[in-house]
Structure 1
Amino acid sequence: MQEASPWWSKSRHADRRPWLAARARIRRAVAAWFEADGFTEVECPALQVSPGNEAHLHAFETDVFGPDGIARRRYLHTSPEFSMKKLLAAGERRIFDFARVYRNRERTALHHPEFTLLEWYRAGEPYERLMQDCAALLTLASETAGTRLWRWRGREADPCAAPERLTVADAFRRFAGLDLLATLGADGTPDRERLAAAARAAGHRIADDDTWTDVYSRILVDRVEPNLGLGRATVLYEYPACEAALSRRTPRDPRVAERFELYICGVELANAFGELTDPVEQRRRFEEEMAEKERVYGERYPIDEDFLSALAVMPEASGIALGFDRLVMLATGAPRIDDVLWVPVEG
């Protein structure tokens, strides 16, 4: 089989250039939309004390040498979240960033080791406001790209249609035949045996060493996500609290948290939170995540103590990270994320 020509070959670049030109137009339109709504664009540094403390995210690391010649371990951030929340603590109210972020062990048609997250925060506003933002940005990207119907691997959706809102519990009941909330204690503690039994009864295969999260994640990926964002976008909200380490619990039910994800054409596009601002609770969740990371991968990342200090004075806020490259890919009809990156990472 003949090897594909490199991205910089004139013929391949000519094929990609319409998508890249659309990327530039969408970026300008999105920035203008935020600025018109009173947002300030910020720029967060990639090098951090901690890349984030989620068990299944993998970072790139390096050493920074100071004038004293001592090496200090630093990481390329997986999200600008910690820096942006520090800016909220400093007094900013509405901010956004087109952040270049880095995640190791990720490369597929939808994943790239270096990519752009469009991340924004609203201080003093509920996370439902971010759902409205998402609907507006889908329409804006569609109009800017000139595409009315988005397609991805046989799935179609109208990006201008009002998104469906579906709780995680309702999605598991509808697509997997499971009562997910029945597998959570009154305080949100997951019951592995109850979920495993319910999953087996519904016909799902469960391994003896699967944790509650393993079972939950497999069913979410295999049964739920392929059915989301068909015909129109889906806002999947109220995640189990144990699957939302950076968000606060909902006032009406401590088993679930103020977290939602945006899907269209079966593709996850954004992840949002009603932000947790309790540093004690946040530390506990980080430590749990890092214990799980060490169990599964044999490594852990440090906790950013400066971030926890800032969290103590950060105002109530809502925040969201949207995969900008995926947005462009869907809006333009490009088949792979590499096709909408000016210079893909080689290898």
Structure 2
Amino acid sequence: MVENEKEVVFQIGAHFLAVQETSEEYEYSVYDAEYKLIDGGQYEAAGKSLRAVSAEILASEPWLNGAEHMDTLQRAAYATSLVNAAATLEHEELLRRADAAHYAPLTGMSASDYLEAGEKAPAGRKFHIYQLKSGEENHLLRFCGLDVLQRERGMGFAPELKNYELVYSGVMKDGETLEDIYSQFNVDLPKDFFGHSLSVSDVVAVEWKGHFTANYVDSIGFQNFPQMAQEITQQQNELLSLCQAIADYDAAHGTESAFIEYDYDKDGWQPCDGTTLEQLKASYPQCVKPSFEVLQFRCKDEVYQAQIKFEGKTSWAGMRRQSGQLYVVTGSRVVGDWQRLNFNAQQVAQYEAFLNRHLEQEACISR
């Protein structure tokens, strides 16, 4: 693009340097790869060209990659070469992208995805709620704001996926934001949600066209953690690969396998109890279909529960519906789904009749 006589924007690696000439001095702003403002100020350099001033400003920036061990003259020459070779951008376009960087986090999207979607929060974004696993090891993390955690555990503290479990997934509506999700899971909880109300220390991951963001519920607002988003992306990709492996094996051998999800940690998906199917990927051992039976249903504290017999043991577990499927949960952990655990037609009918009766009773009470 053609450089404006009074202002110019240079793309320097993963950063953008915007310099404007005013009546008495130059004003500059530095943006990162996600178009967030990270530095800026005024610079006095009367009689110098806009490009020369830009090089001087660039030479003073601490993020100038490759210049860590250069002396002042070398650094200045290096900065000049970068400016002369840099691509330029219209200032209005940079401001448009900076606005996207401000509004995109509210929607749970990256700035680039937000721009690609036409600077709006489209319907169809998936959201996934993660809450800390039970156990003493997470006691000091639970319901704790980042300011406290970073003060006590160091400024480099960040949430780790290995400490969390997925408790709910859903789809966001057109224009829906993270704040809307927070309100819904505090004021109008879905009946198929079995976690606690969305609180500080929870994480809401948002997925759009295969891209994830991980948004920590802080004392005020949400904080984005790209590293956790990468962990979630890896987990989801491995899970998709795992499910495809199961489907391929079943299609080839005329079988129907069951999968029980165990903890995900730094070593990936851990083996589940039961016989390993050697024909599947060695890194993703699976369970042979377990013995599973639904005995009866009840509704307790607005939670649908089923009395199940699993591997010879009888216990009560929650039932929840997501994306047209029914899940059995113990606490907030998904044990298995309606289809893979091979519920028979009688059990399905039993559950549907129970659910309909309960909804009719609720309707009568509300009237």
Question: Which structure's residues are more often strand, by fraction?
Answer: 2
Question: TM-score by structure 1 length?
Answer: 0.22
Higher relative contact order (CA 8 A, sep 6+): 1
Question: TM-score by structure 2 length?
Answer: 0.21
Question: Which structure's residues are more often helix, by fraction?
Answer: 1
